[in-house]
Amino acid sequence: MIKWLEHPEYDAFLKRYVPGHTEIEITRAFMQKFGILLTPGRLGNRKTKLGLKSGTKGGQFPKGLVPWNKGKKMAEDVYARCKPTMFTKGTIPPNYRPEGSTRISRDGYFEIKIADPNKWQLMQRYVWEKSNNRKLSRNECIIFLDGNKLNFDPDNLQCVTRAELVRINQNHRLTDNAEVSKAGVCIEKLKERIRRFDNG
């Protein structure tokens, strides 16, 4: 454990060296000067205590700066310790999900994986696009006419614009009866078209 109060030279060094240097550079210089390895957490805490900022973005190298270890090989003993945890070519991560996998979002909607490495789509949008053979725009969304987020029957899915959805929600057009909801949606769609027509 570093006894900062007993060694004011540590803080003096950090105050002088931290500005303009990355965390890797600071850790390396501190090690060379005092023979002590600062962990990222310990360095971060001390910088906060002293009110110091590196002036680098997120501790990363600024654009154009050549890293100190560029072109250098990892020491054999270090490589031997790291090798068991390294990914080899073709290794599949344990949390990998193949295309077609499903999951539930934080909002309680089903999502389906449509492409690697990690592209997901709302299930209702996916089903609607497949059923209607066209891609939805970003301004379009799909609603469940019967209010059931698990009913992906194409007849239960209705495409509306975001402007229409606002009116549908404001006027409480959605119910647990698909036919009643569909009629309410048609009313709001018609009213929205009239508004657009009136506004030229």
The per-residue pLDDT string of the chain (200 residues; one tens digit each, 9 = 90 and over) reads: 677 888 889 888 888 888 888 888 888 888 888 888 888 888 888 888 888 887 655 555 567 767 667 788 878 888 888 888 877 777 777 888 899 999 998 888 999 999 998 899 999 999 999 999 999 999 999 999 999 999 999 999 999 999 999 999 999 999 999 999 999 999 999 988 888 887 76
Please indicate, yes or no, whether the overall pTM of this predicted structure exceeds 0.75.
no
- β pairing state of 140-144 and 102-104: unpaired
Looking at residue 61, what is its pLDDT?
A: 57
Rg from Cα positions in the chain? 29
Hey, what's the torsion of the CAs at 163, 168, 174, 179, to 10 degrees? Answer: -90
Alpha helices by DSSP H, listed for the chain, are: 8-17, 23-34, 40-50, 76-82, 123-132, 162-170, 178-198
- Identify the burial level of 1 via C-beta atoms within 10 angstroms of its C-beta, where 0-12 means exposed, 13-18 middle and 19 or more buried: exposed
